[in-house]
Structure 1
Amino acid sequence: MTWSTLLFRGLEVWLTARLLRSPIFHRMVGRVHEKIQHVRHGVPPEQMGGTKLENNGSGIKQFFDYFKEELKDQAKGNPRNKL
């Protein structure tokens, strides 16, 4: 081995160790992993939002409107088709 090969090998080891300690590198790998999981298995329901109510208050109003509508339908005896 020549000195230049030894020098480059040492530089490579140092750069690799520094890269593996970097939080930016780990965030990037995490994002790539998440994208691959989404492609393979689809987006998990907890990330899609599901039935969460909005924080601005309009979600609660929509819920009560829907609830009143359901009570009216049940009182009339014609429940909606939930498909």
Structure 2
Amino acid sequence: MWRSFGIRALEVWLINRLLASPIFHRMVGRVHQQVQRLKHGIPPEEMGGTKLERQGPDVKRFIKLFKEEVQYLFWKPPGK
């Protein structure tokens, strides 16, 4: 009887230490984030902004067209 009480007390103490650990909470948060990404895709707050660091073909094409329009705006031939 006393032996099972000691094992139960150790189990309760270990669980309390684990639940009080910030590392454990960060790990659970990361797992939750990955599960949500798998279920629902990338959240809109992470997709916001221009994301120019992701140089895909669409971004390069946009930059090229924008540059051409700016050049035409400032250096267009007279009378046109």
Give the count of matched residue pairs. Answer: 65
Q: Letter of the aligned partner of 1:52 in structure 2?
A: K
Say whether residues 1:36 and 2:35 are aligned partners.
yes
Structure 1 length-normalised TM: 0.62
Can you give the 5+ residue segments of structure 2 that lack an aligned partner in the other structure? Answer: 54-61
Aligned to 2:2: 3
Equivalent AA in structure 2 for residue 68 of structure 1: K
Q: TM-score, normalised by structure 2?
A: 0.64
- The whole-number CA distance in structure 2 between the counterparts of 1:52 and 1:16 is 42
Equivalent position amino acid for 1:27 in 2: R
Cα distance in 1 for residues equivalent to 2:23 and 2:37:
21
Q: Which runs of 5+ in 1 are unaligned?
A: 55-62, 76-83
Amino acid at match of 1:24: I
Q: Percent identity?
A: 62
- CA-to-partner distance for each residue in 1:21-79, whole Å, 9 max, x for gaps? 0011001000000000001100123324651345xxxxxxxx8754232354xx8xxxx
Further displaced range: 42-51 or 23-32: 42-51
